[in-house]
Amino acid sequence: MSKGAIAVRVIAGAARGRALKAVPGTGTRPTTDKVKEAIFSMIGPYFEGGTALDLFAGTGGLGIEAWSRGIERVIFVDKEKISLDVIRQNVRTAGAESAAEIYRNDAERALKALAKRELKFSLVFLDPPYRMTNMDELMAELAAKGMLEEEARIVVEHDASHRYPEELAGFEHIKTAKYGDTAVTIYRYHGMDDETSSIGDTDAMNRSEMDVNE
């Protein structure tokens, strides 16, 4: 995990070569170009429309790369104001303003609010701070709330010392690859059975919902 600012760019597609700004300080770890290229070679490399969710967006680099390669719409979420400022600038640099929604919120509240809008995603990026190792729980929540398209890809970037499960209800583990102290685990969503879905829907109805706001 890099401790300093890393120069990143859009690698391919409509915004190829555009330089993206890093979040100042050491609190945010942007995905390096090497890892980004590896991710998109596994999940794309190009797309024909669809909506992506960049849930711990940081610089917005992953969501912007997905848009550049053909994703039609990207929702960026981060809880840090400084990150939101960088995401807005990077979205403008890429020319993706009309395709982007940018919100300040934590992951759990964002999912509740987005579920109220009945949004479904064909691609989800989960690149949280490495201390967070519960992305399988967030994946289960996305599925229970009906927020994933059939065959949706979920990309989890995490510390190489942590291993996410190969068996996860409704998901197929595609690959885990390590790049130094960074690892990428990719899943494909195959859908929940009726019983699991109904339990998730009931649970969602019983919990309070909060709107996404900046």
pLDDT the model gives residue 201 = 45
CATH class of the domain at 8-206: alpha beta
The ranges assigned to domains in the chain are: 8-206
| Contact of 181 with 1, CB cutoff 8 Å | yes
Q: Which residues, other chains included, contact 204 with Cβ-Cβ below 8 Å and sequence gap of 6+?
A: 112, 115, 144, 145
Please give the chain's pLDDT, 214 residues, in tens. Answer: 334 456 789 999 999 999 999 998 756 778 889 999 999 999 999 999 999 999 999 999 999 999 999 999 999 999 999 999 999 999 999 999 999 999 999 999 999 999 999 999 999 999 999 999 999 999 999 999 999 999 999 999 999 999 999 999 999 999 999 999 999 999 999 987 654 444 344 343 343 333 444 4
Helical (H) or strand (E) element with 198: helix 194-206
pTM (2 d.p.): 0.87
Rounded to 5°, angle at Cα 21 from 5 and 98: 150
- Among the residues of 29-106, which ranges form H helices? 33-43, 61-68, 81-94
Q: What pLDDT was estimated at residue 102?
A: 98
**3-class secondary structure, 101:** strand
- Is 170:145 a contact under the CB 8 Å cutoff? no
